[in-house]
Structure 1
Amino acid sequence: MNGLPLASILNHSDHVIKADVTANADIVITHVEWLLADVVTPIGEEICAKNIEDVLSSGEVICYCCAVSVNSSEDDAETPLGRLAVEWKRMKARKPTATVAFGKAVLTMNFT
């Protein structure tokens, strides 16, 4: 932007990182945690891990955000900021004999 590297504009500033999670089946998200890189720190008392119970139907999208500050070296051409870890389980089927499948997935952040 105007001759300045984009990293210089973003560095030493506060930002909100955001990740959209799309359910491909009926699930319950039980825990989310931002696994932040060393150059990224939460702002103030911001908690980047939550035990929750977000219920999603297949095709639904949910957004998770965290307020952070980025402080990387000016020499870095590209700096990974981290990722979002999501723990989830499938929703119980309507049949009483069904079992619940548990899973864990790590998703890449889509920054907007």
Structure 2
Amino acid sequence: MVSIHLEANLLHQVSLPFLIVHGGADKVTDPSVSELLYRSAPSQDKTLKLYPGMWHALTSGESPDNIHTVFVDIIAWLDQRSQPTSTEELSELEQKAKHDNHQMQQEQTKCNA
């Protein structure tokens, strides 16, 4: 079984940041599997979000309010990790933005010619 293989061999290797979202009433995958991943992974940046009463398909099989809640949580988690943390990173982002804007202007000039 895949689950047993993951538990025995791979969970201790997960070191990148990760977010786990899991329905508390999930009947397909027991929430304890996500809890095990959270506890076992050595990542310093990990988040487990359990949604009580929600099922397996958090972004399609739930009420619109529940789906919205899950997406808000995912986007907030990503936003927190995508902000520049140093002047150097900001400088790189600014340079990329200038480069991208320049390329877009060139493309528009070609289209208008």
Which is strand-richer, 1 or 2? 1
TM-score by shorter chain over 0.5: no
- Kindly indicate which of the two structures has a greater share of residues assigned to helix: 2
**Higher Rg:** 2
**TM-score bracket for the superposition, by shorter chain length:** under 0.3
Tell me the TM-score normalised to structure 2 length: 0.23
* TM-score w.r.t. length of structure 1: 0.23
